[in-house]
Structure 1
Amino acid sequence: MPHVAFTSQLRRFTATPEVDSGAATLRGALDDAFAVNPRLRGYVLDDQGHLRANVVVFIDGRRSTDRVALADALQPASRVYVLQALSGG
């Protein structure tokens, strides 16, 4: 099953459950995590349901390419990591 994990930056604001999901897409896997903690959705997605500008998702070590529909395919053994992009210098 795909496994979804959130990095510690998001833990400062709300609980970030690690979730095993049967979903075939990134959207479905994130929805499974949001079902455990609905408040997390607002930190990851904007009002249109797209990834927030300051959020990056990696699937099996590669950056997610679909920030709008979140239709990136997941494999049964996929590892998904959600993190806040850091800025500054």
Structure 2
Amino acid sequence: MAHIAFTSQLQRFTETPEFDTPAATLGEALAAAFERNARLRPYILDEQGHLRQHVVIFIEDRRAQDRIGLSDPLAPADRVYVLQALTGG
């Protein structure tokens, strides 16, 4: 099963579950996370259900490509990392 983890920045705002999921897509994995903690959803997705601008998700060593439909496929052994991107300079 794919493993999903959230970085510590998000833990400042709400509980961030780390768990294994049989999800076949990124969207399914995130839905499973939101079932565990519904308060997490607005930190990750905007009002249209798209990935927020300052959130980045890596599936293994590749950046998730579908920020709107969240259709990136997950393999059973994948590790998914959800983090807030840093901006500024």
Shorter chain as denominator, the TM-score bin is: over 0.9
The amino acid that maps onto 1:31 is: A
Partner residue of 1:64? 64
Deviation digits for residues 20-58 of structure 1 (CA, Å, limit 9, x no counterpart): 111100000011111100000010000000000000000
- State the TM-score, normalizing by the size of structure 2: 0.98
* Secondary structure of 2:83's aligned partner: strand
Q: Which amino acid aligns with 1:86?
A: L
Cα deviation, residue 64, structure 1: 0.3
**Deviant stretches of 4+, over 6 Å:** none
Measure how far apart 1:19 and its partner are.
Answer: 1.7
Matched with 2:43 is: 43
Task: State the AA in 2 paired with 1:18.
Answer: E
Return the TM-score normalized by structure 1: 0.98
- DSSP-derived class of the 1:15 partner: coil
Does structure 2 conserve the Cα–Cα contact (< 8 Å) formed by 1:5 and 1:80? yes
Answer yes or no: is 1:85 the counterpart of 2:89: no
5+ long unaligned stretches in structure 1: none
Q: Which runs of 5+ in 2 are unaligned?
A: none
* Identical positions, percent: 65
1:11 shift after superposition: 0.6
Aligned residue pairs total 89
